[in-house]
Amino acid sequence: MNQYAILLSAPYMLPYTDRFLPILDQLGCDVIVPEVNERLSEDEILTYAGKFDGTICGDDRYSGRVIKQCAPRLKVISKWGTGIDSIDKSVADVLGIPVFRTTNAFTVPVSDSVLAYILAFSRKQPWLDQNLKKGGWKKIPGKSLAESILGVIGVGNIGKAVLKKAHAFDMRLLGNDVIPISKEFTKEFKVDMVSLEDLLSQADFISINCDLNPTSRHLINEKVLSLMKPSAVIINTARGSIIDETALVSALEDKSIAGAALDVFEIEPLPKDSPFLSMDHVMLAPHNSNSSPLAWEAVHWNTIRNLLIGLSIPLDKFDAIKKEKMRM
């Protein structure tokens, strides 16, 4: 038996356990692999309380209650990915349990996804394709990106990447953030930093790229949606709970906004009775905008590394194993 037990529930690593379990075994870690449907609930995690020293998790619900019951054996939470809104870090901090993540992990694929949605709605490709395959020959009017205004809410790593890529299409760019953004960036890419109200009232496309936290939960609500132009499209590749989905459904049904592109949802997987599933002017994806073999591979290794740091396992052996694997 190894010195440590690890609960491995990160869904992007689970298909590759044959790669990672032998490595963790060499590093002195036995691994518990639960059945995971997107993420573990509080109760599902608690079935393993007291049985593991560290976890490699996805968006599992590590609430304060869960962390307290998993302590004192739990010594580290290593999150696969960037967002840690599903982890009560304040409780973990009080108990001395470090929470690790990989920052700036998915900037390239997520920003690519935002531009893909903008292009799809601008050029009407999905709808032209559907019409033609049904026997039609309908010329649905589109427009160039240079004719449109993009507003980005949250000008961090991903928000900046979205604005840089949109700048190459000659879009007019608006940004909004709760912290000051470097004037060098805004000048180089011709970004006007404006109030949220001004962004919503002017933008043809609104991309949500902020973190989910107590101040941003349901940031996009009925009042905010009412400020958008009837021709505007909202894009969410950040976190589902930033949008009040009930309010968004009403705005889409009333056609007070033109459409939405949603990669994330308040409840995941998306319930089978979700109104979004029957809306032609909505594009949906299963929390997939981070899709990138290169990015995933980097996060796999960094998440294991973070786990080892939290368990105070020397990294020299791990670095040697990783170097050998990269040669193969």
The residues annotated with a catalytic role in the active site are: 239, 268, 287
Estimate to the nearest angstrom the gap between the alpha carbon of 172 and the chain centroid: 25
Name the residue with tokens 């009560």.
88
Query: Is the separation of the CB atoms in 13 and 300 below 8 Å?
Result: yes
CA 185, CA 214: separation in Å to the nearest integer? 28
The closest of 206, 185, 310 to 248, measured between CA atoms, is: 206
In order, the DSSP letters of 75-103 are -EEEESSS--TTB-HHHHHHTT--EE--T
The closest of 227, 276, 218 to 256, measured between CA atoms, is: 227
Query: Is the separation of the CB atoms in 260 and 237 below 8 Å?
Result: no
